[in-house]
Copies of this chain bind each other. A is one copy, B any other.
Amino acid sequence: MVTYRLLIEYDGASFAGWQIQENQMTIQGALEKALYVLFRQDIRLVGSGRTDAGVHARGQMAHFVAPRFIEPYRLRKSLNGLVPATIAIRSVEEAPTGFHARFDATERGYRYRISTEPFTLERGFRWLVRPVPNIDQMNQAAHFLVGEHHFGSFCITQSETQNRICLVSRAEWTSEATEGFYCFEIAANRFLHGMVRTIVGTLVEVGHGKRSPESLKTILAAQDRRRAGYAAPAHGLVLEYVRY
């Protein structure tokens, strides 16, 4: 038995999300199918977390336990040959026995990209936000998210028991080299379902003057999804990295 750790990139537009589902093309499903072809038995692949339909990843991490050893370099090559072109296994490493891609992760980093000006080359990866929002106000609002908070207002899933506390270490809009391109970088120990997109949608409402930056404090305190804004579209979001 050998534990392997995979660094995976995928184009979310081609999938109904990470998690395996019957009759749906999912990233986990495509990878488990490839593992079956290689090892001739069912192998469970565990991701660092799920990404929703349409959300991309440049740095998703996953692990699986294989019944026999294959050279990591050969494993990467074989898997890349077996998955659709919209998935790329960037690296394969042997991991210590017991390594867990989800439980051992200490930080996840996402980026959400927008443009305030017309563009086309990145249209599958960037949200066109018009009219031009006030980025300074969005940054003031984002600042209130940093730290340990209850993020129930930014979570789609209905459940009273589950832990909603996240420690956000970074939440910041930066301007990119191209005029009108902005990137929201957010890092936390964990993320809730729909959290980044709901944060981005709410911050854009701040940028459009529909909410004040300070309103983020009230939204957090409410612990109620109905208090936050619309979720931003999935295609602007990329899971950039997972740290262990």
Residue numbers of A with Cβ under 8 A of B are 9-11, 56, 58, 76, 80, 85-90, 117-121, 123, 125, 178-179, 238
| Given A86-B120, A88-B119, A90-B117; 20 other pairs, CB 8 A cutoff | A9-B118, A9-B119, A10-B120, A11-B120, A11-B121, A11-B123, A56-B121, A58-B121, A58-B178, A76-B118, A80-B118, A85-B120, A85-B123, A87-B120, A88-B118, A88-B120, A90-B118, A90-B119, A90-B179, A121-B125
- Number of this chain's copies in the complex: 2
* 27 A-B pairs whose Cβ atoms sit less than 8 Å apart in the complex: A9-B118, A9-B119, A9-B120, A9-B121, A10-B120, A11-B120, A11-B121, A11-B123, A56-B121, A58-B121, A58-B178, A76-B118, A80-B118, A85-B120, A85-B123, A86-B120, A87-B120, A88-B118, A88-B119, A88-B120, A89-B118, A90-B117, A90-B118, A90-B119, A90-B179, A121-B125, A121-B238
Q: Hey, which chain B residues are within 8 Å of A88, CB to CB?
A: 118-120
Q: Hey, which chain B residues are within 8 Å of A85, CB to CB?
A: 120, 123
Q: Report the minimum CB–CB distance from A118 to chain B (whole Å).
A: 4
Q: Report the minimum CB–CB distance from A8 to chain B (whole Å).
A: 10
Q: Hey, which chain B residues are within 8 Å of A10, CB to CB?
A: 120
Q: Hey, which chain B residues are within 8 Å of A80, CB to CB?
A: 118
Q: Determine the distance from Cα of A76 to Cα of B130 in the docked complex, in whole angstroms.
A: 14
Q: Hey, which chain B residues are within 8 Å of A9, CB to CB?
A: 118-121
Q: Determine the distance from Cα of A120 to Cα of B88 in the docked complex, in whole angstroms.
A: 6
Q: Report the minimum CB–CB distance from A43 to chain B (whole Å).
A: 20
